[in-house]
Amino acid sequence: MEFLKIAFLSMGSLVVLFILTKLMGDREMSELSMFDYIISITIGSIAAEMATSLEDDYRRPLLAMVIYAAVCIIISLLTCKSIKLRRFFEGHSLILYQDGKIYEKNMLKAKIDVDEFLSMCRVCGYFDLSEVHTAVLESNGKLSILPMVKNRPVTPEDMNLNPTQSFPMANVIIDGKILQDNLKWAGKNEAWLEKQMHAQGIKDIKEVMLATCDSSNNQLNLYVKVQSVSKNDMFQ
């Protein structure tokens, strides 16, 4: 009986965690503020306690989870309206390096030493600090780098070119099934889709694993299913 109760409470806590997480917003771990991180850990700990609680009333940890989530949602709404509150709860960006100068006090405030700073620069693709003009530590812990103008990638504007604006690819077929809403969003219909498939030698839609529509050049990109196993695996 105890095992059934644990299984039931575990499933219930997972459902509640999922709902509360969706309400609090979907963000990656690297994008969580310190406050969000603390709230997430606390809610997770309460959920684990709720799942293994055999004698206590499960409604108490459930109520605590809801209260923590509600506080997180309220603070998120308040920080959207107030810059001061946003900087208090989420922090603000720090300039660690600019134009050949390392800002020691900002480094100490961020608790980052020179070795770690150079490692973060290398992760961003900069092995030579002389190629960097400004390095900013964002509030989410990531390093943003503005390179020297002579080291930044060449843009079409630098070469006086006017390329055509590209648009997001719409997935119109996934696993042999037509995604009607995406097809409509791309401004196409099934007749156009069938014509494009026949032009590329595809007779049965079930042969298609993925198809994307490029609206900028009116083209359908097809990726067919292959049932056989690849014998030339370069990553083994």
Domains and CATH numbers, the chain: 1-87 (no CATH), 94-147 (3.30.240.20), 169-224 (3.30.240.20)
In this prediction, residue 32 carries a pLDDT of 63
Helix (H, G, I), strand (E, B) or coil at 52: coil
Tens of pLDDT, residue by residue over 42-73, are: 777 777 777 666 556 667 777 788 887 888 88
H-only helix segments in 52-130? 59-81, 83-90, 104-109, 114-123
In this prediction, residue 2 carries a pLDDT of 63
Q: Annotate 87-110 with b (16+ C-beta within 10 A) or e (fewer).
A: eebbbeebebbeeeeeeeebbeeb
Check if the beta carbon of residue 29 is closer than 8 Å to that of residue 41: no
> What DSSP element (H or E) covers 135?
strand 132-137
CA distance 23 to 37: 15
* Residue at 218: amino acid letter: N
Pairing status of strand 208-214 against strand 170-174: antiparallel
Check if the beta carbon of residue 93 is closer than 8 Å to that of residue 136: yes
In this prediction, residue 57 carries a pLDDT of 67
* Residue at 84: amino acid letter: K
In this prediction, residue 125 carries a pLDDT of 92
Kindly give the parts of the chain with pLDDT less than 70.
Answer: 1-3, 5-6, 8-9, 20-22, 24-35, 51-58, 228-236
Token pair, residue 193, equals 């889709």
Nearest C-alpha neighbor of 68 from the set 10, 133, 16, 120: 16
The CA-to-CA distance between both ends of the chain, in Å, stands at 48
Residue bearing tokens 């990553």: 235
Please, which residues have CB within 8 angstroms of residue 110's CB and are 6 or more apart in sequence? 94, 96, 137
